[in-house]
Amino acid sequence: MQFSANLGFLWNDLPLPDAIRAAAQAGFDAVECHWPYDTPAGQTSLALEEAGLAMLGLNTSRGKTGENGLSALPGRVAEARAAIDRAVEYAVAIRAQSVHVMAGVASGPEAHDTFCCNLQYACARAAPHGLTILIEPLNIRDAPGYFLRTAQQAADIIQNLGLSELRLMFDCYHQQITGGDICCTFERLLPIIGHVQIASVPARSRPDEGELDYSYVLARIGALGWSRPVGAEYRARSLTEHTLGWLPTYRAIPVRPSPQANA
């Protein structure tokens, strides 16, 4: 099985280009990030080329201090679309594969309609570049009030919009807190999943700790044919290099290639 280092959490004490190089040296197969915008795209692209890694994805802006995205906020459409434009442009410049459109703190039918309209806009912007647009449910403990709360809510939006560019970010950490039933939920939603992330529960630390047995979970995911890199999005309690004891073990988990899992 392959793994991607989420540089929003791992090596986040380093400038982004140095973090990319550190991930390559540690043996990761790819990288992903949250908000790379303070680093010129040219520097990021050069580091990726030197490291021989792909950037799987990045996030749209969180917005103002204390906000957690803009795209479901009624009355903030212009700002949300400017954030989408910026994310798509940066992703294209560094040859990233996806953009995670952050919904923000909102609720109700107007927020739902606003989010869907902005997702249509994001997919239209992404389509000419072959980019995937991801949406991710966040648990209410870590992200109280976040619009997108459950995998089913996200699945309903994806299925109702019917846009080929739009997919689900399946974060096992958030799913375990929100609804559990990781493996069955993953299998049911596999046709619309665009990326997978892992971290321990409840501490969101290295994945070989806590209540989730990722040796089992990842073996099930691999048996279903998931052969893309799985994102390691966890908080390192010490130097990142000292938290990677899980990586060789999980890399040895076999994967059964499946066109459905990687479409």
pLDDT averaged over 10-residue windows placed end to end, the chain, 263 residues = 98 98 98 98 98 98 94 97 98 98 98 98 98 98 97 98 98 97 97 98 97 97 96 97 97 81 51
Any domain includes 256: no
- Assess whether 187 carries a catalytic annotation: no
What is the predicted pLDDT for the residue at 257? 73
pLDDT digits (tens, 9 = 90+) for 11-48: 999 999 999 999 999 999 999 999 999 999 999 999 99
Task: Measure the CA–CA gap between 44 and 16, rounded to whole angstroms.
Answer: 7
Identify the active-site residue in 32, 49, 89, 136.
136
What is the predicted pLDDT for the residue at 258? 61
CA distances from 113 to 64, 125, 163, 248 (A): 22, 19, 15, 44
What count of other Cβ atoms lies within 10 Å of the Cβ of residue 42?
Answer: 10
Structure tokens at 24: 């390559």
Residue 133: partners with Cβ closer than 8 Å, 6 or more residues away: 98, 99, 101, 119, 122, 123, 126, 163, 165, 166, 167
Task: Measure the CA–CA gap between 58 and 6, rounded to whole angstroms.
Answer: 10
| DSSP notation for 44-72 | HHHHHHHHT--B-EEEPP--STT--BSTT
Does the bond joining 202 to the residue before it have cis omega, within 30 degrees of 0? yes
Specify the number of domains making up the chain.
1
Contact yes or no for 253/215 (Cβ under 8 A): yes
pTM of the model: 0.95
- Assess whether 136 carries a catalytic annotation: yes
Any domain includes 261: no
Q: Which domain holds residue 187?
A: 7-251
Q: In CATH, what number is assigned to the domain containing residue 144?
A: 3.20.20.150
Identify the active-site residue in 165, 187, 233, 241.
233
Mean pLDDT of all residues in the chain? 96
Any domain includes 257: no
Any domain includes 12: yes
Any domain includes 1: no
